[in-house]
């Protein structure tokens, strides 16, 4: 719950089995479950409170989806992070930057950002085989991503993975009192996979 609405992050799939394992990290926690042909770890965490510019945000929340294909069976999956049930006075805008896709939601009193990696970052990870399959390197790139931007957030259609291939998707959100001289909520959602893993304690 935020002063602007409710941020919901979730999965659309035909089958979701019960959680069979939970983990606690230095700065986060996770649930692990299976679908028909995937094993998924969903990590939830707070973004580090002190930003690079010395500012803070009122509150934040982030999610990392670590998806591993465990069978060859085809299975459509979609994950999302959207601001729902927003107040009538909320206005949306695009707020991306270098290596960042982001949306902004604001009214006269509050501002919120939801951010995720852009296609260039995904392509870079594919080239390094870093939780993005190298064989899918041409699926992403400049102005080309597996994540689509919507007015109120993002949806990611998981590509058809092969057995043992892994995929990392992250969504970050932060909100604060509105101050047009600050960009603290935007900076809060502009984080790399490696920095997040180091902060959370994921190895």
Q: What is the mean pLDDT of the chain?
A: 93
Identify whether 64 is part of a domain. Answer: yes
Question: Does residue 131 fall inside a structural domain?
Answer: yes
Residue 1 lies in a domain: no
Does 180 score more than 90 pLDDT?
no
Tens digits of per-residue pLDDT, 26-74? 999 999 999 999 999 999 999 876 676 678 888 999 999 999 999 999 9
Residue 82 domain-assigned (yes or no): yes
How many structural domains compose the chain?
Answer: 1
By C-alpha distance, which of 57, 182, 62 is closest to 115?
Answer: 62
Beta strands of 35-106 (E only): which ranges?
A: 38-45, 59-69, 78-84, 91-94, 100-106
Report if residue 16 sits inside a domain.
Answer: yes
Domain residues for the domain of 153 are 6-200
Report the predicted TM-score, pTM, of the whole model to 2 decimal places: 0.94
Torsion over CA of 111, 116, 119 and 122, rounded to 10 degrees?
160
């Amino acid at each position: 719950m935020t002063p602007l609405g409710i941020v919901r992050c979730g999965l659309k799939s035909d089958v979701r089995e019960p959680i069979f394992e939970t983990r606690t990290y230095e700065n986060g926690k996770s649930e692990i479950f299976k679908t028909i042909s995937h094993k998924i770890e969903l990590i939830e965490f707070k973004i580090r409170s002190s930003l690079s510019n010395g500012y803070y945000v009122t509150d934040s929340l982030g999610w990392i989806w670590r998806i591993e294909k465990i069978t060859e069976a085809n299975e459509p999956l979609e994950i999302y992070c959207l601001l729902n049930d927003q107040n009538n006075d909320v206005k949306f805008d695009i707020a991306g930057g270098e290596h960042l896709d982001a949306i902004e939601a604001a009214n006269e009193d509050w501002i919120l950002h939801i951010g995720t990696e852009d296609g260039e970052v995904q392509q870079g990870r594919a080239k390094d085989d870093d939780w993005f399959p190298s064989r899918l390197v041409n699926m992403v790139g400049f102005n080309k991503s597996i994540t689509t931007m919507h007015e109120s957030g993002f949806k990611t259609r998981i590509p058809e993975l092969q057995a043992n291939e892994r995929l990392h998707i992250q969504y970050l959100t932060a909100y604060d009192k509105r101050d047009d001289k600050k960009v603290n909520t935007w900076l809060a959602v502009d984080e790399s996979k490696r920095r997040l893993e180091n902060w959370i304690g994921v190895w």
